[in-house]
Structure formats: structure tokens, C-alpha cells
Amino acid sequence: MTEVSQQQASKTRGNYDHILYVLRANPVTLIAFGMFALLIFSAVFGPMLVPYDPLATNASNALQPPSAAHWFGTDNVGRDVFSRVIVATRLDLSISVAAVALSFIVGSILGCVAGYWGGWLDIILNRFLDTIMAFPLFVLAMGIVAALGNTIENIIYATAIINMPFYARLVRAEVNIRRDAGFARAAKLAGNSDVRVLALHIFPNALPPMMVQVSLNLGWAILNAAGLSFIGLGVSPPTAEWGIMVAEGANFIVSGEWWLAVFPGLWLMIAVFTFNLLGDGLRDIVDPRKRT
Amino acid sequence: MLATSPRLRATGLRIVQAIPVVIGVVVISFLLTRALPGDPAVYFAGVAADADSIEQTRVAMGLDKPMAQQFLIYVGDLLQGDLGQSLSSGRSVAEDLAKRLPASLELTLTALLLAIAIAVPLGVLAATRPGTWVDHLCRVVVTAGVSLPTFFTGILLIYVFYYLLGIAPSPLGRLDFIYLDPDHVTGFYLIDAALMGDWETWRGAAKQLILPAGTLALFTLAPIARMTRAAMLSALSSDFIRTARAAGLSNRTVLFRYAFRNALLPVVTTLGMVFSFALGANVLVEKVFAWPGIGSYAVEALVVSDYAAVQGFVLAMALLFVALNLVIDLLYTAIDPRIGFSSK
């Protein structure tokens, strides 16, 4: 008994050491974790802490360049750009997290079923995924939002659908190679049902590569959602959202009022950058061989 | 005959494999057209419609028929090149798309050529000189490139080159109004103007093209550079390169004849994914630069809820993408040295 717990302890220690080693070897990952914490902080507490109401207009104070009072300047109706950029974090992150969570769940279930039972289920799923991937993904998202209706929920569904194939394929591959592994057969012989073996014994093995995929995907989901609202889908004008703020600011860039578009665009870029760095860092921790 | 040539057989097989994908694409775009919010008949009958005219529209559009029959009618229309009528322009969607497609293709292809011309040498240099400034530059470009929203890069470039430096023309379309459009031959302004020998117009068109193409290229450059570097690294560390070096072949021969040719295969494969991103990003870039291609057509149609135009655009893009993937895969079989050797 003590032997087992000792082994357990040394194993977690080994993991811990490995993570520390990777973080030390690649300080960029550490920075990414810090930026991630900052993003979460502004998503949770941002609306409480910003100096101005993000929707309050003030016509006498319109189009002011960045100053001490308005760090990112004011827009064409006198709203504070800094407040709007920070407040928008919550909406942008919620859209992408909801979309990625949805595609994670649906992709996992489809991938598990196809990978474990195989046969015609597998063939149908693969054909279906091939068909989704046959569309340029952003264009498919446009078509889905246009067909389902122009709302934020439909932006989430569309982003989830175009991300889903990546998860389903990953889970399918991970489940398929372990379907007949010794531990899976042992669990089956011990009297566990198929669903139980699949959910508790096989699927957890797919989680580490899935986490990497989630992190890389979050950045892409934010880009997609912001792109859709940039072309006028989903979020409607007075709401603070990075994509739509860049779209509104674009009208003023040719007359030199750069702060309207640049700051929300910069924040969007930082968010995507953070998730991409985080994904690369997580991959180094999970699978050092895939490092490029 | 077919069985004797592996290259021909691979080509034939690949073309056959594209058929179910095309069928799937058509089924999904049919479902998208029928999933319109509310009742399509109410929508297409117009604002002033009463119950009678809605019913007439329903019968005229064939919406009263069973789903399977509607699908057959839809496929029949597609085969005749009929994508429906655009409500905003009043012309058929297929006609509109055909008129605007060259502008989009000119933009996307220029951007891709630009991206390949920069990314492939960058990736090769980074792989042959790991740890140097080229390697670091490559890493920065790759990470920044995938994180930059294309619409944001475009706006930044407009600000710097149009507003601050004043060297770029105003970002409004393909050609400044002081020039006349070149005669329509291919629809690509650069080629048409060159054919006419009108270099003044050619320069004007090139000036308008450089910023949007640069924006799109920055975005597509990243995955190509990343893949070139990774493929080059794995090719350079493989046994046949060691053997070639041990046999005393020159560095140049090893690098280009042996390593690069093998590294090219995974790069060509990623081009498919790159096209998917490029065609999507194309929509955003066209909107930023008011480029009169099919992307901005779809965006304009979205704003006025012109669904037939949007769905026609989605289908056209999907078919274009399937065709591009087919070309890439055929290119793959053409450059794959293993197929070449086994056929000898």
C-alpha cells in the first residue's frame, strides 16, 4: 500500500518536474499564462472596473485622441474606447469558449462512437466530416449564420460546427487505437459495459491532445467570431465587441483617427496570440516530440 | 492501359474520390437554402404579400412538393447553372458571381504567389540555419501571422501607406476612376492591361492590388513557412541525406535535389488548408478594400438579407475549393518522386 502511494507520488513529482522544466526552457509559455490570467481577469471584473460606461455617449467629447482621461481616446459619439475594449473581452471570450465547448462535446461523442464501434457509423461520420471540410470554413460559417438567422447564438453554433471536425477526428483516432488495448479488454472482462469502458477508461487518454487542440482552437474561434461580426453578422452596433469596433473604426482610418480601430484590433490580436502561444506551450508539455 | 501507369491510375482514382464530396456539398447547400429563417415563401413573396400571393409563391418555388422532389429540382437547376435570382441586383446570381469572380481570383492568386515566394525561401533558410536570426524571424512571422486578424492588418496597412506615407492609392476597388477599365479578355486587370500594351493602366491596377494582396499574403504566409521549415528539418535529419553527404555530394545538390524535393510534398499538402483560410480571409480583405469581388458581393447581400445570393456564393466557394484541392492533389502525384520511380 505504501509502495503504491510512493510510486504515485514520484510519478506526479516527475510530471511536475517536467512542467517546470518546459516552462523554464520556454519562458514564452510563462508569459502566455500571465496574459491568459489578465484576459480572464478583464473578462470577469472588467465591466466593474472600467472608468466609463461603455455605452454612454458624449457628443461634445467625440473623436478625442488618446489622453490621460481617455487612454485609448474616444469614438465618433464620444464613448470611451478603453472601457469598450475591456468590456468587450467578456463577450468575445464567451462566444469562443461556448463555441469550442460545444464542438468539444459533440466532437467527442461522435468521435468516440465512430472510433469504438466503427463500421457504417464510422463511414457515415467520415463522409460527413469530409463534406464540412470541403467548404472554406469561414465561408461555411457565413452561410450557416445567414441561413439560421443573424443572432449571437447562431454565431456560436456556426463556429462550433466548423470546429467540430477537428475534435471528432482527433477523438476517433485516439479511441480507435485503444479499442482493443489490454486495459480496455480487462475493463470489459471485469464486467463493465461498453459505454462505461469507453467513457471512463478509453476516452480520458484522448484528453491531453484535446487540451492542446482546445487552446489552439480558442484563438481561431475568437478570430472567426470577430470576423463574422466585422462583416455585420451576429453582434449588433451599440454592443461593445472587438470585430464590430474595428469595423466602425475602419471608416475613420482614412481621415487619420487611428485609435478607433487600432486598439480593439490590438486587443483581439493579443487574445489570439495568447491562445496560440498557450497551445504551443501545452503541446510541448503534453507531447515534446511534436515540437516544431 | 490504366492499370499499367500508376500515375494515371492515381489521377483517375483521385478524380473519382471528389464525386461524393461534391454531392455532399450540394446536399448541405440545399439544406442551407431550405433552412432560411421563417418561411422562405413569405420571404420571397415580398413585404406587401397577402396569404394568396404567399401561397402562389410557394407553388411557384416548388416549396409545396416533398423534400426529395425539391432536392431533385434544385440539382436540376444547378446543372443548368441556375443559382436563383438576386433580389438586390435583379440579375441571376450565377451571372453576378461570374462577373465578379475574376476580381477575387486575381486578388487571391496574387496573394498566394506572393506568400509562397516569401514563405518557402524563409522556411528553407530557417531550417538550414537553426538558431540564427533567420530562424527567429521565421518563428516571429509564423506566430504573428496566424494571430493577426486579416481585417485588422488591412486597416493598419491603409493607415500607414495611404494616410501617413501617402504612397498607396485610396482603398476603393480595383482601379482608380482616372483610368479606363481594360478590355475584358480574362477579367484579370493585370493580364488584360498587359495584353492591350497599356502599361499606364497596368501600373494603376498593380498599385491598387498591392495592399490587399499583401494583407492576404501576410495571413497565408504563416502556415506555409511553418510547414516548409518543419518539413525541411525532418528531411535534412533523415538517413538518405546523411548518406548523400557521406558520398561527398555538394551541399547544393543535397539541399535542393534531395532534401527540398522531399520537403515539398508536405508543403503542397498544407496548401489545401491554406486555400481554405485564404478564401475565407478573402471575404474580409475585400470588405476592407472595397474590392469588387464575390466576397464583398456576399457581404452586401448579407446586409440586405439577399439569401439566394449568399447561398449561391457559399456553393460557388465550396466548389472552387473542391476544385483547388483536386488540383493540389494532382500536383502532388505529379511531383511525388516515389510514384515516378516505381513507374520506371
Instruction: Examine the pLDDT at A192 and tell me if it is beyond 70.
Output: yes
CA distance B201 to chain A (A): 24
Q: Determine, yes or no, domain membership for B233.
A: yes
What letter represents residue A67's amino acid?
S
Q: The whole model's pTM is what?
A: 0.81
Does residue B86 form part of some domain?
Answer: no
Q: Residue for cell digits 515540437?
A: A291
Give a yes or no: residue B34 inside a domain. no
Give residue-wise pLDDT tens across range A76-89: 777 777 888 888 88
- What pLDDT, on a 0 to 100 scale, did the predictor assign at position B69? 77
**Cβ-Cβ contacts under 8 Å for B69 (sequence gap 6 or more):** B62
The verdict on residue B201 lying in a domain is: yes
State the residue for C-alpha cell 525532418: B234
Residue B51, pLDDT > 70, answer yes
- When the pLDDT of each residue in chain A is averaged and rounded to a whole number, the result is 79
What band does B2 get if pLDDT is binned at 50, 70 and 90? very low
Q: pLDDT category, A212, cuts 50, 70, 90?
A: confident
Rounded (to 5) percent helix, strand, coil in chain B: 75, 0, 25
- Tell me the pLDDT tens digit for each residue of A130-166: 888 888 888 888 888 888 877 888 889 999 998 888 8
Q: Return the amino acid letter for A114.
A: A
Percentage of residues of chain A with pLDDT beyond 70: 86
Residue B137: all three cell numbers together:
524571424
**Residue in A168, A200, A208 with CA at minimum distance from that of residue A183:** A200
| Contact call for B147 and A269, based on CB within 8 A | yes
Q: What is the mean pLDDT of residues B156-181?
A: 76
Judged by CB atoms closer than 8 Å, whether chains meet at B37 and A135 is answered as no
Domain with B123 in it = 96-303
pLDDT at A24 over 60: yes
- Residues 195-234 of chain A whose Cβ lies under 8 A from any Cβ of chain B: 219, 223, 226-227, 230-233
Is position B318 within any domain?
no
Percent share of chain B, pLDDT over 70: 87
Pick the most confident of A118-122, B77-81, B214-218, B258-262. B214-218
Arithmetic mean of pLDDT, A3-16? 58
pLDDT at A2: 47
Cα A102 → chain centroid: 11
Quickly state the pLDDT bin for B344 (edges 50, 70, 90). very low
> By C-alpha distance, which of B214, B183, B182, B184 is closest to B201?
B182
Tell me the percentage of chain A whose pLDDT exceeds 90.
3
**According to the model, what pLDDT value does residue B42 have?**
66
- Residue B87: count other Cβ atoms within 10 Å of its Cβ: 17
B43 touches chain A (CB under 8 A): no
Name the β-bridge partners of B92. Answer: B85
CATH code (residue B112):
1.10.3720.10
Higher per-residue confidence, A186 vs A7: A186
Phi (first) and psi of residue B110, to 5 degrees? -60, -45
Whole-number Å distance between alpha carbons of B278 and A138: 10
Q: Do B155 and A261 contact (CB within 8 A), yes or no?
A: yes
Q: Do B302 and A139 touch (CB under 8 A)?
A: no
pLDDT for res B343: 40
| Mean pLDDT of the A55-69 span | 71
Left, alpha or beta for B90 (phi > 0: left; psi -120 to 50: alpha)? left
**Which among B24, B171, B307 has CB closest to A131?**
B24
Total number of domains in chain B: 1
Question: Considering only CA atoms, which of B37, B25, B71 is closest in space to residue B302?
Answer: B37
Phi, psi of A72 (to 5 degrees): -105, 15
In a domain, B51, yes or no: no
Residue B296 lies in a domain: yes
What is the predicted pLDDT for the residue at B342? Answer: 43
> For residue B318, which of A163, A136, A215 has the smallest C-alpha distance?
A136
Q: Could you tell me the end-to-end alpha-carbon distance of chain A, in angstroms, rounded to an integer?
A: 42
Instruction: Decide if B205 is inside a domain.
Output: yes
- At residue A106, the pLDDT reads 92
What integer pLDDT is reported at residue B36 of this predicted model?
60
Q: Is the pLDDT of residue B303 over 80?
A: no
